[in-house]
Amino acid sequence: MARLDGQVALVTGAARGQGRAHAVRLAREGADIIAFDSCGEFVSTTYDPPTLADLKETVRLVEEQGRRIVWRQIDARDVPAVTSLVEDGTRELGRLDVVVVNHGICSYAYTWEVTEENWDEIISVNLTSVWKVVKVVSPYLIDQGEGGSIIVISSVAGVKGQPFLAPYVCSKHAIVGLTKTLANELGPHRIRVNAILPGGVKTPMAGFEWNGQKGEQNPFAGELDKPEVAAQLGSIFMNALPDRWMEPEDISNAVVFLASHDSHYITGTEVRVDLGSTAR
């Protein structure tokens, strides 16, 4: 029997990358899926956004696992839209057990060169809308009365002061704090809340084409190619293990563990799937 038979999981940012990998893996483990993605452009980013076609491909892949999926193209910052999807999804699929808050955006610049528009957008997407999603799902999980698992995808940037990433780092630090607060608040209801801190993952955000074949791009506009910068800052991005990048499915392994009964006494923690980068 699969680990999540009879359960329902909500996955945000599901169109591609980690979100798609999480949705498909949870479905393979027996869960029906509620999924959404904005599939829209952001002024702060330079990489291509996911598309509606990407989201539809995720739907196809979930259905290929023999599972049901309720999905929409919506922005996580839109509370009425998220609420409507959760209401419709739980009505059709019967319940909600797992929530994977995965969406996020990123841009690269020295802190003093970040525009107010970019700062506000990244914080609104990476932090405020995470709070909005858990604000919607938490009462449902409480009222259902059967516990549950909320998994927030943070980053190694949630515990490290990575250069060129000020708004991203601040947002990822903040959602680690939000995770710990929620773990305390929801614990009496047997709802577990944990954060996963991925290291480098092969996604468009990290400079990879969506098919993962193009290879690493330099997201720091050549700054780390400067000897004086690399000498001071390069080690921050190094891993303990000899690999540079992981596949999205490597993070999905941790998602399934935290979603399942195997982790039923784990809450308020940071699971670091990071090639040892935070051990440095």
DSSP-assigned beta bridge partners for residue 36:
12, 72
For residue 138, CA distances in Å to 4, 92, 96, 147, 182 come to 20, 19, 10, 10, 9
Give dist(CA 202, CA 224) in Å, integer: 19
Q: Which of the following is catalytic: 110, 140, 168, 265?
A: 168
Active site residue 108: no
What is the widest separation between alpha-carbon atoms in the chain?
Answer: 58
- Sheet with 270-273, edge to edge strand ranges: 69-73, 32-37, 8-12, 98-101, 148-153, 191-198, 270-273
Give dist(CA 126, CA 117) in Å, integer: 14
Q: Looking at the annotation, which residues are catalytic?
A: 168
